[in-house]
A and B are shown apart, each in its own frame.
Chain A
Amino acid sequence: MLTLEFVPYSEIAGLSSIGRIRKLLNLAKEDKIVIVQGRLRKEEEAELIKATMEEINKDFKGIELAVIYPEDSEQNGFFSSIKSKLVNALVGDAQGLTVIGPASVVKEIKKDPHKIQIYTSRRRSKRRKK
């Protein structure tokens, strides 16, 4: 069974960078496709990749990651751009969507760049017997 979990921005807004990364990575490690309202900071995306690499083992093969962001918000005027950068730096960015899926479930995420297509694996990885 494929599980999608939606994480509203309010759930990660108050967390530290490490807290956000840990929360999202833990959900992905539970074999869930996580759809997050908003996006991580660029530095946090890099940290998420680093944290993912540290966790890779025979059961967890990593993640697929994609961010979709409204184009016009990046191409607004000078003052809007400064304002949005300031807000992003202070409280993060609630615009757009971030999709994180475990590599065992998500084969590929394609961006077009205005839409995201998630291709799931036909065969799920076997769960370990307890």
Chain B
Amino acid sequence: MAFSLKLFLRKLFSNLFKKKKHIKLGLYGPPNGGKTTIANRICQDWLGEEMGKVSNVEHETREIQVKEEVNMKSGNKELSFNLVDTPGIATRIDYENFIKSGLKEKEAKSRAKEATKGVIEAIKWLDNMDAVIVVLDSTKDPYTQVNLTIIGNLQARDIPLLIVANKIDLKKSNVERVKSAFPQYKVLGISAKRGDNIEEMYEELFNLV
């Protein structure tokens, strides 16, 4: 009896204070918001290596990319997670747009086909996430249905999220507009390319996870 009680209490306390292992931190957003640039920035800062290739042509990331065991430290705070870079979510994919961006027809068609699969995978992976950074381009209209659907689905699944309004180094950037579109969430303006507010983003991640 005493043994069972002891075992029960030990299990209860270990469950209460156990740190969740293999937290999955996802990067979600529409194409060309800068998800992979942020992933590269995080990996460079904490692992000393890059995660993926970036490009000005949309849908450069067409497969889920996972970087395991990223360890972040700040003072006495520590955070360990698997970083998941996802393909940009879109409702339309037209290979002719890739041709306009300079790709050959065969390459453009193949990219479009892979991009559609990437969107499907990104949506499927939503259920696996423990926390998400929603990456939006602060130079673009934040009121798109893709943005609302991503955030709404994270909310419906009770997944904690941080919205980063990326590309604040560009003249057309308007972080206030992103903030006014999502007043119920923390919105942080950053430039993943130049490194603006990256330390603040890390601080927010400690609070988020």
Contacts and interface: CB of A to CB of B under 8 A. Distances in A.
Contacts of B94: 61-62, 103
B120 A56 contact: no
Nearest to B124: A50
A53 B152 contact: no
B143 interface: yes
B116 A56 contact: yes
Interface string A55-70: 0101001111111000
A45 interface: yes
Contacts, number: 72
A54 interface: yes
Nearest to A47: B123
Nearest to B115: A53
Contacts of A110: 141, 143
B101 interface: no
A49 interface: yes
B14 interface: no
A45 B145 contact: yes
B156 A49 contact: no
Interface string A99-117: 0000100000111110000
A63 B143 CA distance: 16
Nearest to B117: A53
A128 interface: no
Interface residues of A, number: 26
- Secondary structure class of chain B's binding surface, majority of residues: helix
B42 interface: no
Interface stretch (B65-73, B84-92, B160-168, B192-200): B84-92
Nearest to B118: A53
Contacts of A49: 89-91, 119, 123, 146, 149
B119 A53 contact: yes
Contacts of B159: none
A66 B119 contact: no
Contacts of B152: 42, 45
Contacts of B92: 52, 61-64, 103
Contacts of A65: 91, 145, 149
A67 B145 contact: yes
- The 6 A-B residue pairs with the shortest CB-CB distance, nearest first, are A62-B92, A42-B152, A103-B92, A53-B116, A111-B143, A61-B94
Given A43-B153, A49-B91, A50-B119, 9 more contacts: A42-B149, A46-B126, A49-B90, A49-B149, A50-B124, A54-B116, A54-B120, A65-B91, A110-B141
Interface of A: 41-43, 45-47, 49-50, 52-54, 56, 58, 61-67, 103, 109-113
20 contacts: A42-B152, A45-B152, A49-B123, A49-B149, A50-B123, A53-B116, A53-B120, A54-B120, A56-B93, A61-B94, A62-B92, A62-B93, A62-B94, A65-B91, A65-B145, A65-B149, A103-B92, A109-B145, A111-B141, A112-B143
